[in-house]
Structure 1
């Protein structure tokens, strides 16, 4: 049984769709019962190296990434810092002017549509990469994201994601490129892709010596109505949310007391409200938490 669960975990990380180990079948059943007809609108991937478990419900369903695309951007930035190409204290000039990937035409971001509007007040001034990364991750700043991704190059961000096993994620552009959106040139992901990236972070492989910085930035997330809401108060959760019309996501590394963390990614589409989707995500998180923290550690 232990071997089948380990094989499932390795297959999920390697790219194949695993058969569930017998000891995770009750969790699979519980989630399907919880979600009911919403199984078609909710994708779940749970990776737990302690229990040698990989669970995927619709883990290969492709969706608009929304702000979860900021996870591979953050990883790429940290890798470049680790390589000595950048320093966290390097500065970028704040400017609200970007080029569409469709035809190079200029576009700007609307502060009213950004979850962090204060950065726009500093246009024309330099801001450190560290602060931009904090704003991109914790506050989901679109302006900070576009400044960083323009410096990094989306192609290199995607190449790094592929290197870490996210073999179908598409990082094409920054955010709010209206022409690209209308042309269908969007950033897309699967729950499996994000789980692989976060597993690399949890295991310390994502960005070398700068991986702890990635974790700390994800721990600072300010939007906590989805996965964290389903966990006991005070639980450490390093995560990135994302939402646009009809899309609400949360991708997390969860740190139960006294054991290694596990990864949980829940992507949703088609709900009438963000609050409804967040409620489904938190219910999934609560179900997975109960299973992960009450199941005996196989090492004991």
Structure 2
């Protein structure tokens, strides 16, 4: 074989063996999502290589559902770091809250079959540590409303602005039906959620110590139907889900066994079926994981 043909062969062979390009991953996911019913937003960021990044509909606003509980946790730990609150402080668990619309009192629906550990403590004391853990891992709405009373929705939003997340809006707690009827709901974008999770991963949301504690709690997540659903058991995911009718979200940090990690956000709305929405999110998460291990 002539030397120039050999050189062309070697170059072509080298090109074909290169790792998949990030643009190929994005195109593959876009094609897959175009075949699904609903509106979706995706964010992927390799935490070791800033060039390994893509986003889809990253600035589209979504109902935050329970993803708003991560900003509440960040604000809580900011207060702990400032010495204003201790994780060992105790609070009486009461099912009594006030609407942001007119201050009228409302109660949350508590179900006997619920796995929420805080619902079983109504009338008893619970530490802020217990409330926060339940808010994140079991997505306790009762714990969330109690903690928002402590740290404030407006201040939580302001802290998000200071972290560079300009579109997350924490307006209220959960099951404030008067506010919901008036369209007053918590909002987020994939970009903003990614931004705060990158801060947590990098130890800059509050400080390295507090952020490490938050990662431990996020890793203890009870619900694993989206990001971790199709990933191997040796992959660790620190994440927070969110779900209401027609909406399925998951957001977090994925830690691979080789020490690499990435932030992945999946948001969805206008879903005809929530189970299908979780399946779509899990499939996209698997595509991203397979790309990550190919690098």
CA–CA separation in structure 2 for the residues paired with 1:106 and 1:116: 25
1:107-140 Cα deviation digits (max 9, x unpaired): 0100139954442332222100100011000000
CA–CA separation in structure 2 for the residues paired with 1:115 and 1:234: 29
Offset, 1:59: 0.9
Q: Which residue of 2 aligns with 1:86?
A: 85
SS in 1 for 2:118: helix
Q: Which residue of 2 aligns with 1:128?
A: 127
Q: Which residue of 1 aligns with 2:22?
A: 24
Closer, same or farther: CA 272–182 of 1 in aligned 2, 3 Å: same
Q: Is 1:284 the counterpart of 2:284 in the alignment?
A: yes
CA–CA separation in structure 1 for the residues paired with 2:32 and 2:293: 19
Q: Which residue of 2 aligns with 1:220?
A: 220
Larger radius of gyration: 2
1:19-76 Cα deviation digits (max 9, x unpaired): xxx9421111111122224386111011113232221111111110000000000111
Closer, same or farther: CA 114–99 of 1 in aligned 2, 3 Å: farther
Closer, same or farther: CA 40–123 of 1 in aligned 2, 3 Å: closer
CA–CA separation in structure 1 for the residues paired with 2:262 and 2:210: 20
**Equivalences for 1:103-142 in 2 at 5 Å?**
103-112=102-111, 116-142=115-141
CA–CA separation in structure 2 for the residues paired with 1:289 and 1:103: 47
CA–CA separation in structure 1 for the residues paired with 2:290 and 2:138: 29
- Listed as ranges, the gaps of 5+ residues in structure 1 are 1-21, 296-300
Q: Which residue of 1 aligns with 2:175?
A: 176
Say which is worse superposed, 227-236 or 278-287, in terms of deviation. 227-236
CA–CA separation in structure 2 for the residues paired with 1:203 and 1:260: 13
**Contact 1:237/1:254, CA 8 A, preserved across alignment:** yes
SS in 2 for 1:43: strand
SS in 2 for 1:112: coil
TM-score (norm 2): 0.89
CA–CA separation in structure 2 for the residues paired with 1:230 and 1:41: 22
SS in 2 for 1:238: strand
Closer, same or farther: CA 118–259 of 1 in aligned 2, 3 Å: closer
TM-score (norm 1): 0.88
Q: Which residue of 2 aligns with 1:199?
A: 198
Closer, same or farther: CA 39–56 of 1 in aligned 2, 3 Å: farther
Q: Is 1:59 the counterpart of 2:53 in the alignment?
A: no
**Contact 1:115/1:140, CA 8 A, preserved across alignment:** no
Closer, same or farther: CA 201–114 of 1 in aligned 2, 3 Å: farther
Match of 2:41 among 31, 40, 43: 43
Aligned length: 274
CA–CA separation in structure 2 for the residues paired with 1:86 and 1:72: 16
CA–CA separation in structure 2 for the residues paired with 1:65 and 1:222: 19
**Equivalences for 1:240-259 in 2 at 5 Å?**
240-259=240-259
**Contact 1:236/1:254, CA 8 A, preserved across alignment:** yes
Say which is worse superposed, 30-39 or 212-221, in terms of deviation. 30-39
1:143-163 Cα deviation digits (max 9, x unpaired): 000000111011110111111
Aligned-residue CA RMSD in angstroms? 1.7
Closer, same or farther: CA 39–289 of 1 in aligned 2, 3 Å: farther
